[in-house]
Amino acid sequence: MQYTEIMVRYGELSTKGKNRRDFINRLFGNTMKALQAFPALQIHAKRDRLHIILNGEDSQAVMAKLGLVFGIQNYSPTIRVERDMNAVRQTAIAMLKEQVQQGATFKVNTRRADHNFEMDTNEINADLGDIILNAIPELTVQMHKPDITLRVEVRLDGIYLSSQTILGAGGLPVGTAGRGMLMLSGGIDSPVAGYLAMKRGVDLQMVHFFSPPYTSEKALAKAKELTAKIAPYAGSIQFIEVPFTKIQEEIKNKVPEGYLMTIQRRMMLRITDKIREMHHGLAIFNGESLGQVASQTMQSMAAINDVTTTPILRPVISMDKNEIIKIAEDIDTFDLSVMPFEDCCTIFAPPAPKTHPNMEKTRNYEKLIDVEGLMAESIAGIKTSEIRPDQHFLEQDQAEIADLL
Ligand code: ATP
Ligand code: MG
């Protein structure tokens, strides 16, 4: 079917009162960015909908990209015809013929924005219902919960027909919530936490700690590859890599073993908070899930969180591992996350980290290292890059692993 436009319905944002303008502008900008590969498109943002005029572009390809834009509740591929009932009838039949495999019952639902049109909504519903029943004998009319609803809209500039409503990504447009930093490891949880944060409108930047030569170039590449995987939801994502070797060595040399992990995490959080401040972020996100490992007990989180009053938001805090994995599979980060490259937190991991670190001891042991000096040195070594969805950092390794499977 040669559709002429995609009609996009907003999600929650339509209830946001005076912020509505900002939401619609963001959604419009984000949609433009997501669809920049289709130069012929014209996009119009209206009060309650976005109209994407296809001008010959492939509707399936456009809809595949639209499905990644947060803030879109659902969308319908639509055909515009002249204000002529014969044209409407022909298009309605062609459209429903393509839909017959979706089910056997249908109804026609007409709306008129133009009340001067020669027929009213009941007349149009009845007229189209009759000719569809005649043309497609497999179909029967059902008013309550039909398999197919043919939507007809009479407007001043034409009549619009659609018969499919496709679920969008939901959530809120990226950017409407402000900026946040994600502590991104190479694991399963933090990319999922990042996806969920973006879904609530956060303009996310990645902060990744690495410790060469203890961690390989590949561990860093993996974190970048994960960033590229979720970049389609934002257009592109800033990736901030932080050297952590010296801090880990100092902690290893000076701090009692049971507190290595807690103090490492405090240093990570302090540095992330500093970067957040420099980048005008409002909060820090991580992939912690309560009780999953030693650092993720409430006592441990309290001891780590002690270094800042910045909100630390944990989108997967109450999820079971299986629930997190399900999302990781849906957003296609799982296979990457399970690639076996050492993370900087595992290399100096003590055999028995404290699951209930004592706050006073934590603070005292931390005095054994030069917190300020180490932080400054690490921050001076930061590298920042912008990662786009089409970038790859681990192609070779992924191909090799695919061959092994
Ligand atoms: P993940 O699957 O996200 O790695 P995890 O269950 O393996 O999580 P940890 O490795 O203990 O848990 O890490 C807890 C959180 O700390 C991560 O979700 C992430 O937000 C942050 N984190 C861990 N390692 C790094 C790192 N190298 N750089 C930045 N943040 C990190
Ligand atoms: Mg991890």
pLDDT tens column, 232-288: 999 999 999 999 999 999 999 999 999 999 999 999 999 999 999 999 999 999 999
- Report residue 312 as tokens: 């630390």
Which of the ligands is closest to the CA of residue 349? 1
335 CB contacts (<8 Å, ≥6 apart)?
none
Which position has the higher pLDDT, 323 or 114? 323
Which of the ligands is closest to the CA of residue 191? 1
- Rounded-to-integer distance, Cα 49 and Cα 405, Å: 45
With H, G, I as helix, E, B as strand and everything else as coil, classify residue 322: helix
Pair 353, 295: CB distance under 8 Å: yes
Which residue's CA lies nearest to atom 25 of ligand 1? 185
For the CA atoms of the chain, what is the radius of gyration?
27
Give 373-384 pLDDT, tens digit per residue.
999 999 999 999
219 CB contacts (<8 Å, ≥6 apart)?
186, 210, 341, 342, 343, 344
- Rounded-to-integer distance, Cα 159 and Cα 165, Å: 18
Mutate to test the pocket of ligand 1, among 345, 347, 348, 355 (most ligand atoms within 8 A of CB): 345
Domain layout of the chain by residue ranges:
5-167, 179-402
For the residues of 30-62, what is the DSSP string, one character each?
A: HHHHHTTT-TT-EEEE-SSEEEEE-TT--HHHH
For ligand 1, residues with CB inside 6 Å are: 183-185, 187-190, 207-209, 286-288, 292-293, 295, 343-345
360 CB contacts (<8 Å, ≥6 apart)?
none
Pair 274, 375: CB distance under 8 Å: yes
Residue owning tokens 């879904």 = 199
394 CB contacts (<8 Å, ≥6 apart)?
218, 221, 222, 225, 336, 339
Phi, psi (deg, nearest 5) at residue 183? -80, 105
Phi, psi (deg, nearest 5) at residue 369? -115, 160
pLDDT confidence bin for 73, thresholds 50/70/90: very high
Whether 14 has a pLDDT exceeding 60, the answer reads no
CB atoms within 10 A of CB 20: 15
Q: How far is the CA of 186 from the centre of ligand 2 (A)?
A: 6
Atom of ligand 1 nearest to the CA of 344: 27
Which residue's CA lies nearest to atom 21 of ligand 1? 183
Which residue's CA lies nearest to atom 8 of ligand 1? 189
Which residue's CA lies nearest to atom 12 of ligand 1? 288
Give me the torsion for CA of 283, 284, 288, 294, rounded to 10°.
-120
Which position has the higher pLDDT, 356 or 350? 356
Atom of ligand 1 nearest to the CA of 207: 29
Mutate to test the pocket of ligand 1, among 181, 184, 185, 224 (most ligand atoms within 8 A of CB): 185
Give 163-215 pLDDT, tens digit per residue.
999 999 999 999 999 999 999 999 999 999 999 999 999 999 999 999 999 99
Q: Fold match between 5-167 and 179-402? A: no
- Report residue 32 as tokens: 């433009």
For the residues of 85-137, what is the DSSP string, one character each?
A: HHHHHHHHHHHHHHHGGG-SEEEEEEEES-TTSSS-HHHHHHHHHHHHHHH-T
Pair 124, 96: CB distance under 8 Å: no
Report, at the CATH architecture level, how domain 5-167 is classified.
2-Layer Sandwich (3.30)
Give whole-number Cα distances, 360 to 252, 281, 303, in Å: 19, 30, 9
Whether domain 179-402 has CATH 3.40.50.1100: the reply is: no
Whether 347 has a pLDDT exceeding 70, the answer reads no
Average pLDDT value for the chain: 93
Q: What is the pLDDT of residue 322?
A: 97
Residue environment code for 305-330, b if the CB has 16+ CB neighbours within 10 A, otherwise e: bbbbebebbbbbbebeeeebbebbee
